[in-house]
């Protein structure tokens, strides 16, 4: 058979011969090795970057996913009066947000969306708003609509009970002052951004802030918070309250009596203070005009400061008992001594006369206070060496800031020692309470010193923080001993004679022994006396046989020819004392005739 033109039989390779179809060069092997090495190096670098450099960031992201943070809303501590009555507190308020694209009613299919009109019909009665108002607020927006704010907890709960999906209640705290204007002058207020603006809210801001921290809890895959990992005490709530020394009942009596008198005499302002002379606690500090801290934006900012602590005035005749005590302490006058009141005199060319320009003749020191003799005081204090007189005024702290927790307290003004000693007119006018200035609070502090046997106590209005419903008891008697107790007892007896026989007769209360002193001082501005401007005051101590309280009433610029301490300030003090005796359950005094004779100070 003839051979085919195409031979399909496999050809045999010659024995011993190997054919290399794909030879690999060394360069190619090196390239592959470098690529693998670069990849592994990149992975190593990336791994190191993630585990070392980015570890904190990644860990934070993981924790954000795995944990739930409960941020406190920043509540402040409550303030209560001495008996636990609410003065300031935080109450939760709510802002209602709407997200119409998620509106769904109870019983609806999960995917079913309701029109805004259906939700508005249910919501309007709860919010006490017209449906048209709510519809207008929603408009055509699909999310983030503020429907209402300042919702109280009860209204917020009724909104929740509707069970409407797409409504969100945002809680925030709001500071409330249940007593209204009663304590505004000392407590102050928070502005709309919750920043303290005045009073204790500002000065005790750190104490009033609750010690709250962010609560972090683990949560499961479905977002449910898990109690696992919580430490003991993490859920503890701060229940501390700031307790005041003020009594809301007495504060109200003082406020009403003072406001009525200021209005009647068309005065510029007034203040009434009550102090426990044993420890310096203030039971009342009322001033007028005042304001409502719940609506502070409606008032003049000038009302936000307490002037009895921050403004100075010349005390006038109410300082005369203090000066007589200093003269007794220095043994410059005899308790049974007398002075010749000539009605007027001249000191270094300056005329000095009594308020009525009458001469009272040879009078004893109780009578000096009874008739409020300026001339008698000048002659009595002239027996005290000038440098010692100035030393005592300085020692009493007239020119120093008082040790008090009242916000904004200021120092008084006293001439320097050289001027006081070298100019005879300075100690002369200081003898009847002029030529220097102080605050009403400072004057009350010094009369408390007379009442408690010579101890200068620190005036204060807080008893500190207390847990839950616990209340602090009054502190023990305190203060720095400055005067001989025998000296103060003599002066208290003279002050009692003012109420029994002198200008303070209107303060007499049946069955109680009371000491007092009226004051009607000229008002100075920048060292110049304002024609016709007066400051009327009355200070009292009760009961004389065992002094417990000092009361001071000061009325600034009352109008009328008959405006004196006895006619303007004394009636307010009397009403306060009547309430004080009842509230503090002070038993009646022993008859003055049966009381032990007043001891004389040691020679």
Q: pLDDT per residue over 442-482, tens digit each?
A: 999 999 999 999 999 999 999 999 888 888 888 888 889 99
Q: What is the pLDDT of residue 22?
A: 60
The predicted model gives 70-93 an average pLDDT of: 85
Between the alpha carbon of residue 30 and those of residues 26, 27, 40, the distances in Å are 6, 5, 15
Kindly tell me the burial class for residue 426, based on how many C-beta atoms sit within 10 Å of its own C-beta (0-12, 13-18, 19 or more): buried
Q: What is the pLDDT of residue 2?
A: 45
Residue 600 structure tokens:
């004389």
**C-alpha neighbours within 13 Å on the C-beta side of residue 287:** 23
Phi, psi torsion values for 32, nearest 5 degrees = -60, -40
Q: What is the pLDDT of residue 3?
A: 46
Of 489, 116, 438, 213, nearest to 324 by C-alpha is: 489
Of 296, 309, 92, nearest to 203 by C-alpha is: 309
- How high is the mean pLDDT of the chain? 87
pTM metric for this prediction: 0.80
Residue 119 structure tokens:
């939700």
Strand intervals (E) in 163-268: 167-176, 215-219, 225-226, 240-244
Q: Fill in the DSSP letter of residue 435.
A: S
Of 153, 171, 176, nearest to 79 by C-alpha is: 176
Q: What is the pLDDT of residue 599?
A: 43
Of 361, 366, 360, 359, nearest to 334 by C-alpha is: 366
* pLDDT > 90 fraction of the chain, expressed in percent and rounded: 59
Q: What is the pLDDT of residue 210?
A: 79
Q: How far apart (Å, rounded) are the C-alpha atoms in residues 519 and 315? A: 7
Q: How far apart (Å, rounded) are the C-alpha atoms in residues 317 and 519? A: 5
- On the question of a cis peptide bond just before residue 289, with omega within 30 degrees of 0, the verdict is yes
Q: How far apart (Å, rounded) are the C-alpha atoms in residues 291 and 304? A: 8
Residue 30 structure tokens:
């090196």
User: Does 286 have pLDDT greater than 90?
Assistant: yes
Which residue in the block uniquely carries the two structure tokens 């802002």?
Answer: 95
Q: How far apart (Å, rounded) are the C-alpha atoms in residues 577 and 290? A: 22
Q: What is the pLDDT of residue 338?
A: 95
pLDDT in tens, 432-441: 999 999 999 9
Task: Give the residue, 603 or 240, on which the prediction is more confident.
Answer: 240
Q: What is the pLDDT of residue 603?
A: 33
Confidence of residue 221 (pLDDT cuts 50, 70, 90): low
pLDDT in tens, 99-134: 988 888 888 887 788 888 888 888 989 988 898 888
User: Does 548 have pLDDT greater than 80?
Assistant: yes
Of 144-153, 322-331, 377-386, the one with minimum mean pLDDT is: 144-153
Question: How big is the chain, counted in residues?
Answer: 603
Is the CB of residue 286 less than 8 Å from the CB of residue 388?
Answer: no
User: Does 92 have pLDDT greater than 90?
Assistant: no
Q: What is the pLDDT of residue 69?
A: 56
Chain centroid to CA 250: 19
pLDDT in tens, 312-365: 999 999 999 999 999 999 999 999 999 999 999 999 889 999 988 899 999 999
User: Does 74 have pLDDT greater than 80?
Assistant: no
Q: How far apart (Å, rounded) are the C-alpha atoms in residues 232 and 490? A: 62
> Would you please indicate which residues are annotated as catalytic (active-site) residues?
317
Three-state secondary structure of 255-324: HHHHHHHHHHCCCCEEEEEEEECCCCEEEEEEEECCCCHHHHHHCCHHHHCCHHHHCCECCHHHHHHHHH
The predicted model gives 244-262 an average pLDDT of: 96
């Amino acid at each position: 058979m003839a051979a085919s033109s195409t031979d399909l039989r496999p050809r045999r390779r010659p024995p011993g011969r190997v054919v290399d179809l794909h030879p690999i060069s060394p360069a190619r092997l090196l390239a592959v090795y470098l690529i693998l090495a670069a990849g592994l190096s990149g992975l190593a670098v990336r791994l190191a970057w993630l585990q070392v450099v980015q570890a904190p960031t990644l860990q934070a992201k993981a924790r954000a996913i795995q944990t739930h943070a409960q941020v406190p809303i920043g509540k402040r501590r409550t303030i209560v009066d001495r008996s636990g009555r609410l003065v300031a507190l935080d109450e939760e308020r709510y802002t209602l947000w709407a997200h119409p694209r998620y509106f769904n009613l109870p019983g609806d299919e999960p995917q079913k969306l309701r029109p805004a009109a259906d939700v508005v019909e249910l919501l309007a009665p709860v919010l006490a708003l017209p449906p048209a108002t709510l519809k207008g607020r929603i408009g055509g927006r699909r999310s983030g609509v503020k429907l209402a704010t300042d919702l109280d907890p009860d209204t917020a709960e009724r909104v929740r009970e509707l069970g409407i999906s797409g409504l969100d209640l945002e809680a925030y705290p709001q500071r409330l002052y249940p007593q209204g204007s009663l304590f505004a002058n000392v407590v102050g207020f928070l502005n709309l951004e919750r920043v303290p603006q005045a009073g204790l809210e500002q000065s005790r801001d750190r104490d009033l802030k609750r010690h709250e921290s962010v609560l972090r809890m683990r949560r499961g895959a479905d977002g449910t918070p898990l109690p696992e990992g919580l430490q003991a005490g993490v859920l503890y709530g701060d229940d501390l309250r700031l307790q005041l020394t003020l009594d809301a009942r007495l504060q109200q009596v003082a406020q009403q009596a003072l406001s009525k008198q200021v209005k009647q005499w068309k005065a510029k302002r007034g203040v009434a203070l009550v102090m426990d002379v044993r420890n310096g606690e203030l039971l009342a500090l009322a001033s007028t005009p005042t304001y409502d801290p719940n609506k502070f934006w409606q008032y003049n900012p000038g009302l936000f400061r307490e002037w009895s602590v921050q403004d100075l005035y010349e005390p006038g005749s109410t300082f005369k008992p203090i000066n007589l005590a200093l003269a007794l302490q220095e043994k410059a006058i005899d308790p049974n001594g007398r002075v010749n009141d000539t009605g007027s005199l001249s000191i270094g060319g300056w005329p000095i006369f009594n308020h009525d320009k009458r001469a009272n003749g040879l009078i004893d020191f109780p009578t000096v206070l009874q008739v409020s003799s300026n001339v008698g005081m000048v002659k009595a204090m002239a027996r005290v060496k000038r440098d010692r007189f100035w030393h005592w005024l300085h020692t009493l702290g007239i020119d120093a800031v008082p040790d008090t927790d009242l916000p904004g307290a200021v120092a008084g003004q006293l001439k320097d020692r050289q001027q006081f000693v070298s100019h005879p007119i300075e100690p002369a006018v200081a003898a009847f309470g002029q030529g220097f200035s102080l605050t009403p609070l400072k004057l009350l502090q010094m009369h408390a010193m007379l009442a408690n046997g010579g101890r200068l106590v620190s005036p204060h209005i807080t008893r500190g923080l207390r847990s839950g419903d616990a209340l602090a008891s009054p502190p023990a008697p305190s203060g720095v001993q400055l005067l001989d107790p025998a000296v103060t007892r003599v002066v208290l007896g003279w002050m009692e004679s003012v109420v029994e026989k002198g200008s303070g007769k209107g303060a007499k209360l049946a069955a109680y022994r009371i000491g007092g002193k009226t004051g009607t001082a000229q008002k100075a501005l920048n060292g110049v006396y304002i024609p016709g401007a007066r400051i009327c005051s009355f200070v009292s101590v009760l009961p004389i046989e065992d002094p417990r309280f000092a009361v001071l009433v000061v009325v600034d610029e009352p109008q009328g020819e008959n405006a004196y301490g006895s006619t303007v300030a004394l009636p307010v003090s009397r009403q306060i004392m009547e309430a004080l005796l009842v509230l503090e359950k002070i038993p009646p005094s022993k008859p003055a005739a049966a009381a032990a004779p007043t001891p004389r100070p040691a020679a």
